[in-house]
C-alpha cells in the first residue's frame, strides 16, 4: 500500500476563538494530503483537467478523536485503499506532534469528464497509482 505523508501547520485562521481547529478545516487538510499523494506519483491535477477529466469527491466520512490546536504541526498520512475503474478511495489519518491520532477519514473520489459524468480513470493514471 502506497503511503504519502505531509506536514501541515495549524494557523490562527484555522481555529475558533479558543485556539481549537474548526471541524470543517480538516477537509482542507484531507484535500492537501490527496493532492500531494497525486503529485508525488507524477500526476498533475491541472494537467488532468486540461486533458478533460478531474477527480471529484463523492463521499467523505470523518471521525474526530482529539482536537488540533493553534500552531500544532500535524502529520497527514494518506493511502489509497481501493482503486476501481472510475473511482478510488483514500484513507487518511491526521496525527499531532506526539503521535496521537486526531482524525481518521475515508474519502471516495470519482473520475469525471468535462460534462460532469463518471468516466474511466485513464490508463496512464492507473499505472502511477
Is 59 catalytic? The answer is no
Question: β-strands 3-9, 53-64: how paired?
Answer: unpaired
Of 16, 71, 72, 91, the catalytic one is 16
CA distance 35 to 45: 8
Q: What is the strand order of the sheet 3-9 is part of? A: 3-9, 73-83, 87-95, 101-113, 53-64
3-class DSSP state of 20: strand
Which residues are known to be catalytic? 16
Amino acid at each position: 500500500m502506497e503511503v504519502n505523508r505531509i506536514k501541515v501547520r495549524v494557523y490562527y485562521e484555522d481555529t475558533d476563538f479558543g485556539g481549537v481547529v474548526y471541524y470543517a478545516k480538516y477537509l482542507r487538510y484531507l484535500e492537501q494530503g490527496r493532492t500531494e499523494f497525486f503529485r508525488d506519483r507524477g500526476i498533475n491535477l491541472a494537467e488532468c483537467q486540461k486533458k478533460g477529466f478531474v477527480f471529484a469527491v463523492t463521499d467523505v466520512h470523518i471521525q474526530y478523536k482529539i482536537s488540533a490546536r493553534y500552531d500544532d504541526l500535524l502529520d497527514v498520512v494518506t493511502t489509497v485503499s481501493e482503486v476501481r475503474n472510475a473511482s478510488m478511495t483514500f484513507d487518511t489519518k491526521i496525527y499531532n506532534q506526539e503521535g496521537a491520532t486526531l482524525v481518521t477519514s475515508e474519502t471516495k473520489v470519482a473520475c469525471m469528464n468535462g460534462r460532469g459524468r463518471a468516466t474511466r480513470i485513464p490508463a496512464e493514471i492507473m499505472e502511477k497509482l
